[in-house]
Amino acid sequence: MDLYRKNNLKCSISTTRLYSTSFSLGVRLLDKQYRNHIYSIYGFVRYADEIVDTFLEHDRGTLLEEFRADTWKAIERGISLNPIIDSFQHTVNECNIDHGLIEAFLRSMEMDLHFSSYSSGELETYIYGSAEVVGLMCLRVFYVEDDAAYEALKHPARKLGEAFQKVNFLRDAQDDYQNKGRIYFKDIDFDHFTPGAKRKIEAEIQHDFNEAFKGIVQLKPQVRLGVYLAYRYYLNLFHKIKYAQPEAILKQRYRVSNPQKGVLMFKASLRNAVGLF
């Protein structure tokens, strides 16, 4: 069983590193006892996201429903023949992750199959399930035996997930709007995206980042640097988008280059080393 679980975990690690170099670097800076569980969470959410965003030539609704059923069976049985799901169920059961968080995530994935625009309430539900609960799953891994710390840090963890997701909405606006017909921001017309509308969204995102940082500085040293680095990567990406003209959002996908990531990693490590948190 140890060899089987090790093989499955490697699938989650490989998935994380192939799909997100930024996230992978952040995970590598976590204390070793937390890394594998975070890889398992990322692998799971990435596979679900692939179902709704990539497999356009297939019956995505059926695939997602099968993925959901397989996930709950695996959590109940403590094993799955799907390596990504098996790795995830091991983390869920070992770290006592709230099943409600998993259901909220799967519900948001399902929303991507049926919604092209969102009301304020629908958007809150979508962001909570697609991003905030992922932050809460990771937070539970960090504080599996400390309920008080988990409860105290839930709000900033949710805000970090919310900030990341809203930045993703702007970064991926070209593909989401032009190729998938999705608009995640209420009352936004990307065909007439004004500077004022863009600034309003950016103000919301900046508030989320500010709230998230209040929690990052309170994290235990074993995980703080990894989370802070992910925060810095996304903040840098946000600043690139912030200084772009509204019309440019639909013409290119902004990213943080590998050299920039290296600089950010060095600065974050230096700041952590000298205690500037």
pLDDT tens digit at each of 277 positions of the chain: 689 999 999 999 999 999 988 888 889 999 999 999 999 999 999 999 999 989 989 999 999 999 999 999 999 999 999 999 999 999 999 999 999 999 999 999 999 898 777 777 888 999 999 999 999 999 999 999 999 999 999 999 999 999 999 999 888 888 777 777 777 877 777 778 888 888 999 999 999 999 999 999 999 999 999 999 999 999 999 999 999 898 888 888 888 888 888 888 888 888 877 766 6
- For every residue of the chain, which 3-state class applies, written as one string? CHHHHHHHHHHHHHHHHHHCHHHHHHHHCCCHHHHHHHHHHHHHHHHHHHHHHCCCCCCHHHHHHHHHHHHHHHHHHCCCCCHHHHHHHHHHHHHCCCHHHHHHHHHHHHHHHHCCECCHHHHHHHHHHHHHHHHHHHHHHHCCCCHHHHHHHHHHHHHHHHHHHHHHHHHCHHHHHHHCCCECCCCCCHHHCCHHHHHHHHHHHHHHHHHHHHHHCCCCHHHHHHHHHHHHHHHHHHHHHHCCCHHHHHCCCCCCCHHHHHHHHHHHHHHHHCCCC
- What is the pLDDT, as a whole number, of residue 64? 97
Residue 146 sits at φ, ψ, to 5 deg, of: -135, 85
12, with CB counted inside 10 A (0-12, 13-18, 19+), is buried
For 83, the token pair is: 């390596």
- What is the pLDDT, as a whole number, of residue 162? 95
| Domains detected in the chain | 2-268 (1.10.600.10)
Residue type at 19 in one-letter notation: Y
203, with CB counted inside 10 A (0-12, 13-18, 19+), is exposed
- What is the pLDDT, as a whole number, of residue 156? 97
- What is the pLDDT, as a whole number, of residue 258? 84
The total of other beta-carbon atoms located within 10 Å of residue 273's CB is 9
Confirm whether pTM is higher than 0.85.
yes
